[in-house]
Amino acid sequence: MNPLISSAAGPLKGTCAVPGDKSISHRALMLGALAVGESRVSGLLEGEDVLATAAALRALGATVERGDDGVWRVQGVGVGGLAEPDAVLDLGNSGTAVRLLAGICASQGFTTFMTGDRSLCRRPMGRIIEPLERMGAQFVARSGGRLPFALIGAAHPLPIEYRLPMPSAQVKSAVLLAGLNAPGETRVVEPAPSRDHTERMLRLFGAQVSVEAEAEGGSVIAVAGYPELEPCTLTVPGDPSAAAFPLAAALIVPGSDLVIRNVGVNPSRIGLLETLRDMGAAIEMDSMREEAGEPVADIAVRAGPLRAVEVPAERAPRMIDEYPILSVVAACAEGTTRLNGLAELRVKESDRLGATAAGLRAAGVSVTERDDGLDIVGRGGPLPGGGLVATQLDHRIAMAFLTLGMASEKPMTVDDGSMIATSYPGFVADMNALGACIATH
């Protein structure tokens, strides 16, 4: 346990940058391992989640190394060239690592054992087991489709068409990645758009991916099997889900004026920016450019009054990881903010709906928790603070409530900040450099 305490911060001023995007970092290593030859990845997120993926890919036979220049070099073995690992793959806290790697291993004719930490072993894996079994893989999982599981990959995988029962980029990606080592075309029908990093990166590595509109308003994503993926040299954009914390801090700490450089602004990830603008936030995107097939920008943000909003359920997939920090901003806004369509938050690294509501209450904020939403009564200014938050092995709960402490009258404590290292190892140092006051408790 590593308890941390966050006290009122001075205005955040100047320019900062955030680490590489977690989703894109996982995918860059995975596709590098499936290409033929050496890929080079700069700006990789060196957080525990991505390091777990790197270790798993090594165990599967790819060479994955960090050079002294900070560039990661991956020697890929081709889409069908991975080898059976000698030991259990431990994916730590990372849902993306286990679900996407299970997709890759599902169409390789060997057996893999996978596990994770206490949080990951509670999360539902039935959502990938079902489609991957249709492709011919077999799983022996703990009851309720939980980790640890054994995965017997299909020696002769079948391409499928799979309609996602929930908006999940991880499930979509698992099926598409399995389809790389299957004949014909593997198709995923997505009723509502979720992050499309896998599709973009598959194209970057030379796979054939098509996206077409479907009759019921969704889209059909198809990948052609057995491509020869070409190695790539790429730079990972900054993570918008990490940028959300300094961004929110700058909005709620009076007098702040901040520029966050080099942030990924993929349309499937910027629901938070849309919502904050609806709340009246002064946010501008500048120097739009492209990096690794993804749109990137510098984001300028200034503190100012914010008003409550109702966030529509259909926006949830575009800001799924940002609800804890949005809830903190909403607590500082004028009026009651209503967040809808959040059932999926219950199966993240923690039950994020419950953990967010409990954290807000600990900070003296009035909140109603519904089955799939929250109503947060904003205080239109600084929060009382002074509470202790149970992070439940969830990095985003820890970072959200340390950010809240920056704008509260009494300091906020989180019981364990160690999980922050999964996605943003430099969080405390970066925030303190900007004017925060976060210390070991």
User: Which is nearer to ligand S3P, 96 or 256 (by Cβ)?
Assistant: 96
User: Which is nearer to ligand S3P, 23 or 408 (by Cβ)?
Assistant: 23
Q: Which of residues 324-383 bind ligand S3P (CB under 6 A)?
A: 344
The correct pick among 199, 239, 291, 321 for binding ligand S3P (CB under 6 A) is 321
User: Which is nearer to ligand S3P, 26 or 434 (by Cβ)?
Assistant: 26
Where does this chain touch ligand S3P (CB under 6 A) — which range of 165-173, 221-229, 322-330, 398-406? 165-173
User: Which is nearer to ligand S3P, 321 or 430 (by Cβ)?
Assistant: 321
- As measured in angstroms, the least distance from the Cβ of 94 to ligand S3P is 9
**Per-residue x/- mask for ligand S3P, residues 184 to 203, rule CB under 6 A?**
-----------x--------
- 117 is a catalytic site residue: no
Where does this chain touch ligand S3P (CB under 6 A) — which range of 76-84, 169-177, 259-267, 282-290? 169-177
Where does this chain touch ligand S3P (CB under 6 A) — which range of 153-161, 163-171, 354-362, 397-405? 163-171
Determine if 96 is a binding residue for ligand S3P (CB under 6 A).
yes
Determine if 170 is a binding residue for ligand S3P (CB under 6 A).
yes
Structure tokens at 21: 């995007």
Where does this chain touch ligand S3P (CB under 6 A) — which range of 81-89, 167-175, 360-368, 414-422? 167-175
Determine if 320 is a binding residue for ligand S3P (CB under 6 A).
yes
Cα–Cα distance, 175 to 173 (Å, whole number): 5
User: Which is nearer to ligand S3P, 356 or 408 (by Cβ)?
Assistant: 356
- Residues that bind ligand S3P (rule: CB under 6 A) add up to a total of 10
- As measured in angstroms, the least distance from the Cβ of 294 to ligand S3P is 13
SS3 string, the chain, reads: CCCEEEECCCCCEEEEECCECHHHHHHHHHHHHHCEEEEEEECCCCCHHHHHHHHHHHHCCCEEEECCCCCEEEEEECCCCCCCCCCCEECCCCHHHHHHHHHHHHCCCCEEEEECCCCHHHCCCHHHHHHHHHCCCEEEEECCCEEEEEEECCCCCCCCEEECCCCCHHHHHHHHHHHCCCCCEEEEEECCCCCCHHHHHHHHCCCCEEEEECCCCCEEEEEECCCCCCCCEEECCECHHHHHHHHHHHHHCCCCEEEEEEEECCHHHCHHHHHHHHCCCEEEEEEEEEECCEEEEEEEEECCCCECCEECHHHHHHHHHHHHHHHHHHHHCEEEEEECCCHHHHHCCCCHHHHHHHHHHHCCCEEEEECCEEEEEEECCCEEECCEECCCCCHHHHHHHHHHHHCEEECEEECCCHHHHHCCCCHHHHHHHHCCEEEEC
The correct pick among 9, 105, 128, 169 for binding ligand S3P (CB under 6 A) is 169
User: Which is nearer to ligand S3P, 54 or 169 (by Cβ)?
Assistant: 169
The correct pick among 119, 173, 391, 413 for binding ligand S3P (CB under 6 A) is 173
User: Which is nearer to ligand S3P, 170 or 391 (by Cβ)?
Assistant: 170
Exactly one of 49, 321, 375, 416 is catalytic; name it: 321
- As measured in angstroms, the least distance from the Cβ of 243 to ligand S3P is 14
Q: b/e string for 393-402 if b means 16 or more Cβ within 10 A?
A: bbbbbbbbbb
Q: Which of residues 21-80 bind ligand S3P (CB under 6 A)?
A: 23
Enumerate the active-site residues.
321
Residues that bind ligand S3P (CB under 6 A): 23, 96, 168-170, 173, 195, 320-321, 344
